[in-house]
Structure 1
Amino acid sequence: MDSGHGRKFERYGPWRFIRPEPQAMWDSALDDWDADGEFVPASDEDGGGRWVFARPVPREGWELDWEGIRFNAQCTPFRHLGFFPDMAPVWGWIRQRVHGLEQPQFLNLFGYTGVGSLAMAATGANVVHVDASKKSVAQARENAALSRLADAPIRWLVDDCSKFVAREVRRGRRYDAILLDPPKFGRGPDGETWRLEEDLPGLIANCAQLLDADSRCLFLTVYAVRMSALALRELLSQSLGHLGGTIEAGELAIREESRGLELPTAIWARWSR
């Protein structure tokens, strides 16, 4: 809805929130941000913080919809709301790339609460959804039920993404499309440590082995790191260049309602054929 002074003013269904956004370095357009809740960050640089509510907001969450996909939004302790709306054009782009394939094979790594997996399953894709968080995968299953896709061909896996992809390579598996949305830092279900700058190159190299001459695309998004989209593009060029096709890079952004400014949220790189 609006942004400025290091914050953003958002609407999720009937509820309005204020969250920190360091890249909103400009002045806001609206004089009054009448929000139901605000996430106040901690004073240190290690993250953390808390929600402060001006009015009651359902703690168990509320339902939202994206092109017929129903899912639960919720104020999480990590300042997120259970999904990332800037990923909507990514899901749409992947749908376009696999259009015309009968039951395309789709791998969603770091799949979070599963909205992207459900977006693909709704088109008839066979989906493998992988995330290290048992809670996130449980929420993804609940979102599948909300979307009447509980019986869709989706494998819900609580696993370390790097280890899972390495096993898929050994199994000789292939996919038509792969989506990766890795965090800067994370831990696997058995205490594995994920550090983006150290572990991403190996993961991309293994993902390349899951693609072949008939595969359609790979999309990589990266948030909250000091890294260039050009660096991601060159990483994909090195690992996927032998497949031919096109490699591109850029930024994801959300466009304000107030005046149309584009608020950057992430960098991305993608390969497609």
Structure 2
Amino acid sequence: MQKASAGKAGKPGGPKGGARNAEKAGSFKPRNDRHGDAAPRSVRAAEAASPADTKGDAAAEPARTLTIRSGERPAERVPVILESHGAGDFHLIDSGEGLKLEQYGPYRIVRPEAQALWPRALPAHVWERADAIFTGDTDEDGMGRWRFPREALGETWPLSLLGIDFHGRFTAFRHVGVFPEQIAHWSWMKERIETANRPLKVLNLFGYTGVASLVAAAAGAEVTHVDASKKAIGWARENQTLSRLDKAPIRWICDDAMKFIQREERRGHRYDIILTDPPKFGRGPNGEVWQLFDHLPLMLDICRELLAPKALGLVLTAYSIRASFYSIHELMRETMRGKGGTVESGELVIREAGLDGKTPGRALSTSLFSRWVPK
């Protein structure tokens, strides 16, 4: 088993994500290969583009179809466990009995966590001192409410991860504006941007509150952030100001992700790193329907076409789905046939760190992932 660790990051000294499932419902978040494959066959039609989808193109083009590719499949590394201990203002304190206790800046927060099957490690009085507890529907897609047992708290509060300042927020879908399991991917991306000997372009699909986009921009990349939720885009812009990155080269795009990437493909735009964190179900701003198992193959196929000739990676995260990581691993390898490189897939986990943030405990699995990287 391969294992990698995303370590702690200090407080910022200077200058995401797509929302999950129901909250992320507004976050939407084929043709011949141009990189050396033999001419492929088109086998499945996508939904027809609406007239608004052209947005400046000369004319709407026929529906994009999925490509069957030839050539060797990339090498593989499986299973890979990407482990985060926390970073900046976040760490996982404890978990168990279907719950998790987390530290987000000054607040201890309790939220449901179905995968925490074990007993809690810390005594009850530690959990009872939580500042905020999510109650109500315990299904990942369900709405609920926050209870504040110690004192009333404001809707937002300041947080920092990997040198990025942003607002945490108590939402009706239990989320707080950041998905810390992504720290592993963000640290990987940050290192590659900072060590590249050329300017890089990053595409962040289903970008949610923009933490990943801001990490990339602060590292020196030119970023395109796509999310179908106007509210999420507004939150991301607030975070941009908080992080003192108002002049950073970020395009904030409020659009359906599938429509956007099809336009980008027609226009010949290319990216060095693509992050995509789609929900299992969602709707775009004009009622477009996203179903992960139906639409993911075509989305990855188009993303492949958007990779620059010297691209550094295509990253897919799949959260809260009933599947093995091997399902998205094999899909990624099929998508990247003839492209060379390696597909590494597995799980994102967060390691408990105790009250002090330094005492390693059990690993809590949060997401499946698959990542293509060149040689």
* Residues 216-249 of structure 1 deviation map (CA, whole Å, 9 limit, x = unaligned): 1011101111011111111111111321111010
Q: Are residues 1:267 and 2:352 paired?
A: no
Provide the secondary structure at the position in 1 that maps to 2:214.
helix
* Residues 83-135 of structure 1 deviation map (CA, whole Å, 9 limit, x = unaligned): 11111111111223343142201000000000000000001111000001110
Aligned to 1:28: 120
Choose the corresponding residue for 1:202, options 268, 280, 298: 298
Cα RMSD between the aligned structures? 1.4
Q: Are residues 1:13 and 2:105 paired?
A: yes
Tell which has more relative contact order, 1 or 2 (C-alpha 8 A, sep 6+): 2
Shift of 1:74: 1.1
Aligned to 1:95: 190
Q: Partner letter of residue 240 of structure 1? A: M
Normalized against structure 2, the TM-score is what?
Answer: 0.71
- Alpha-carbon distance in structure 1 between the residues aligned to 2:111 and 2:155: 19
Name whichever of 198-207 and 212-221 sits farther off: 212-221
Aligned to 2:245: 149
* Residues 141-197 of structure 1 deviation map (CA, whole Å, 9 limit, x = unaligned): 000000010111000011000110011111111100000011111111111111111
Aligned residue pairs total 273
- Alpha-carbon distance in structure 1 between the residues aligned to 2:349 and 2:240: 27
Shift of 1:69: 0.7
Provide the secondary structure at the position in 2 that maps to 1:220.
strand
Aligned to 1:53: 148
* Residues 13-61 of structure 1 deviation map (CA, whole Å, 9 limit, x = unaligned): 1101110000000000111202111111327786222211102353331
Contact 1:213–1:243 (8 Å) recurs in 2: no
Contact 1:20–1:41 (8 Å) recurs in 2: no
What are the ranges of 5 or more consecutive residues in structure 2 without an aligned counterpart? 1-92, 355-359
Contact 2:133–2:147 (8 Å) recurs in 1: yes
Provide the secondary structure at the position in 2 that maps to 1:170.
helix
Aligned to 1:185: 281
Aligned to 1:254: 350
Identity between Structure 1 and Structure 2 (%): 51
- Alpha-carbon distance in structure 2 between the residues aligned to 1:125 and 1:72: 22
Provide the secondary structure at the position in 1 that maps to 2:345.
strand
Provide the secondary structure at the position in 2 that maps to 1:209.
helix
Choose the corresponding residue for 1:115, options 190, 202, 211: 211
Name whichever of 155-164 and 257-266 sits farther off: 257-266
Aligned to 2:256: 160
Q: Kindly tell me: are residues 44 and 65 of structure 1, through their superposed partners in 2, closer, same or farther at Cα, counting changes over 3 Å?
A: closer
- Alpha-carbon distance in structure 1 between the residues aligned to 2:141 and 2:191: 39
Provide the secondary structure at the position in 2 that maps to 1:143.
helix
Contact 1:97–1:217 (8 Å) recurs in 2: no
- Alpha-carbon distance in structure 2 between the residues aligned to 1:79 and 1:67: 23
Q: Partner letter of residue 336 of structure 2? A: L
Q: Partner letter of residue 14 of structure 1? A: P
Choose the corresponding residue for 1:65, options 156, 160, 171: 160
- Alpha-carbon distance in structure 1 between the residues aligned to 2:203 and 2:141: 31
- Alpha-carbon distance in structure 1 between the residues aligned to 2:319 and 2:96: 19
What are the ranges of 5 or more consecutive residues in structure 1 without an aligned counterpart? none
Provide the secondary structure at the position in 2 that maps to 1:241.
coil
Contact 1:132–1:188 (8 Å) recurs in 2: yes
Q: Are residues 1:173 and 2:265 paired?
A: no
Q: Are residues 1:81 and 2:176 paired?
A: yes
Provide the secondary structure at the position in 2 that maps to 1:77.
coil
Aligned to 1:229: 325
Contact 2:141–2:173 (8 Å) recurs in 1: no
- Alpha-carbon distance in structure 2 between the residues aligned to 1:232 and 1:93: 20
Provide the secondary structure at the position in 1 that maps to 2:330.
helix
Provide the secondary structure at the position in 1 that maps to 2:303.
helix
Name whichever of 34-43 and 176-185 sits farther off: 34-43
Contact 1:132–1:161 (8 Å) recurs in 2: yes
Contact 2:270–2:308 (8 Å) recurs in 1: yes
Contact 1:37–1:51 (8 Å) recurs in 2: yes
